[in-house]
Amino acid sequence: MLRDLIILPKAEQDAAEAYTWYEEQEPGLGEDFLRCVDACIQLIRRNPQMYRLVHENYRRAVVRRFPYVVFYEYLDNTIIVYSVFHSSQDPNKWRNQLP
């Protein structure tokens, strides 16, 4: 069963910036990145509790092939994606993006 999904503008912006950077490195790589992010989000939708809690009600899913993670919350059968975060950034930075 697919759960309801809300992707916040900040997460969309994160993914768009990464897409642009990867496309500048090699044409088509940005598309690969977006496909991997989409695959990660689809896994989250199918089984949102598969990923462990990392902070209060927030969970982290690793994007395959790329050094990114998706931070999300699963409440009342709804998934809220807060950030598509590069794993080399300061780990406290993503917490500052949470409501």
Q: What's the pLDDT tens digit per position in 17-44? A: 999 999 999 999 999 999 999 999 999 9
Kindly state the DSSP code that residue 36 receives in the 8-state scheme: H
Rounded-to-integer distance, Cα 76 and Cα 80, Å:
11
Q: What is the mean pLDDT of the chain?
A: 93
For 45-58, write each residue's pLDDT tens digit: 999 999 999 989 99
The answer, yes or no, to whether residue 95 has pLDDT greater than 80, is no
Is pTM beyond 0.85? Reply is yes
pLDDT score of 89: 80
Q: Return the DSSP state at 73.
A: E
List the one residue out of 47, 42, 46, 49 whose CA is nearest residue 63: 42
Strand partners, 80: 6, 73
